[in-house]
Amino acid sequence: MNSAIRLHTKEHIATIEHYKQALSLLSWDAKTSAPPNSQKQHATIQGTLSKELYLLQTDPAFAKELQQLQEQNLSQLQQKQVQHYWNIYQKLSAVPLEDYYQFSVLKASTHALWSQAREQNEFKLVEDNLQQLIHMHKRFAEYRNPHLAPYEQLLEEYEPDVSSETIDSLFQQIKDAILPLLTKIKRSSVTHDTSFLNKPFSIENQQKLGKHLLTAIGYNFKSGQIGTTAHPFSAGIHPQDARLAVRYDEHNVKLAAFMFLHEGGHSIYNQQISSDLLDTGLGAYTSMGLHESQSLFWERIIGKHEGFWRNHAHLFKELEPAIYGDISFETLYFALNEVTPSLIRLQADDLTYLLHIIIRYELERDLFADKLRVSDLPSAWNAKYKAYLGIKPETDRDGVLQDGHWYGGTFGYFPSYNLGFIYAAQLREAVIKDNPDFDEIISSQNLSLIADWQKQHIHQYGKLKTPREILTNLSIGRIDAQPLINYLKKKYEGLYKL
């Protein structure tokens, strides 16, 4: 057999990728602009395409070629391709086709039902479907590896190098540092009237603000699109089509502003993956934790930096002068960084955000360990919010129904947000090492230097490098929460004069 991957195999891989891209487009449409009456048929179509994708990825002839190629002298890219698709083959072929099809339909229909349940503020509408999703995940885990716990297998899907044991340790370290800091902040005498952020800010002007912020951080509108959705997300269909969708609240401009930065960070990662990796299977993010590190880097490291808002605070005054005309920069900057426990993860400050994620992680871990029943999920959610944040949701909409992840079949994802924040702080130190004038770069509006650094060291490689390889190449080493803790303590002790 030739040392290079055969043309037939290349075409087969490209076809697989095209099905994935088509499914991403369907998912984008379903979540942003599809009419309500189309949801059932959308779910059926997604199920059909997913079935065809399953057949392509588990094709016996394709699998045989992958086995043979593992013994050949291949380039690095080809080796990664073969290993990538072989791993997929092993996972998928262990699952019966009919089960896989049913699961694909169930995911799409449950996500649509979640939107209805959220609108009606009634968890019970989606409770049975959620139970079915968890049951099917457990069944798939049994098919694949009966010796590895289902939740560990789910974590591997998003962050292969990090186990629940490591996550437990990292998250405990964060809790031990953040909870006492929150207590000190609560006792601080530093305060500003920040109620202006909740005054009407038109949706049209929020869109203008968002487009300006996306332009500032380097989002390429010729390779992207902005949509509106109930729950913000980004869709990396391929490097030339990286879309994002946000949610607007006329009385919460802060929500949209940071959503644009967060989803924009995801999309910049997708756009800066090397075009050489298109249709190879490797033209995507290397792990969800590292992907979240890029969105959180732009949203929270850059987007909450004083220098960033020195350059962009004028937008508030220009867009809504009646409200922001007399607001000082110091008050606006404080308002954008204020620490206030809230029920909604997307509105959370840097400190309480970490606790929002820990709550979700602990709940889904317990669901899969059979320590928590789905029917008890709302009360367990509320109890943890009371214990960690001192507040309790009054409705399912603000509680267990606020995120769409679980209702789209996505479990094991939530820890990636905190892992991403941890990575972001470690990468911040790496950027500063290469660019000691980091603060001046942000203040000078020359953010392309930061985006170029990310492309050079992270984005361009797609799946060619693992998170561990990226950290090692940057002389960072293993994942470590201490840089994040140090960063947050220094920032918020200064902001609140502790």
C-alpha dihedral, 463 to 467 to 471 to 472, nearest 10°: -80
Whose CA is closest to 264, among 210, 206, 208, 209?
Answer: 210
Q: Determine whether 371 is exposed, middle or buried from the number of CB atoms within 10 Å of its CB (0-12, 13-18, 19+).
A: exposed
Quickly tell me which residue has 């929020």 as its tokens: 206
Amino acid at 458: I
The pair of structure tokens assigned to 185 is 């902040």
Catalytic-residue membership of 394 = no
For 79, half-sphere exposure in the C-beta direction (CA atoms, 13 angstrom radius) is 8
Q: Measured between alpha carbons, how far is 107 from 104 in angstroms, rounded to an integer?
A: 5
Alpha helices in 400-479 (DSSP H): 415-434, 438-443, 448-457, 467-473
Residues 6+ apart with CB under 8 A from 309: 329, 332, 333, 336
Q: How far is CA 371 from CA 140, 222, 364, 374, in A?
A: 20, 48, 10, 10
Q: What is the CA radius of gyration of the chain?
A: 23
Annotated active-site residue in 65, 263, 292, 320: 263
Phi, psi of 352 (to 5 degrees): -70, -20
Asked if 8 contacts 16 with a C-beta cutoff of 8 angstroms, the reply is no
Whose CA is closest to 88, among 108, 68, 59, 61?
Answer: 59
Asked if 364 contacts 152 with a C-beta cutoff of 8 angstroms, the reply is no
The pair of structure tokens assigned to 28 is 């984008």
Amino acid at 236: G
Q: Measured between alpha carbons, how far is 446 from 440 in angstroms, rounded to an integer?
A: 9
Total Cβ atoms within 10 A of residue 290: 24
3-state secondary structure of 396: coil
Whose CA is closest to 285, among 406, 189, 416, 166?
Answer: 416
Q: Active-site positions?
A: 263
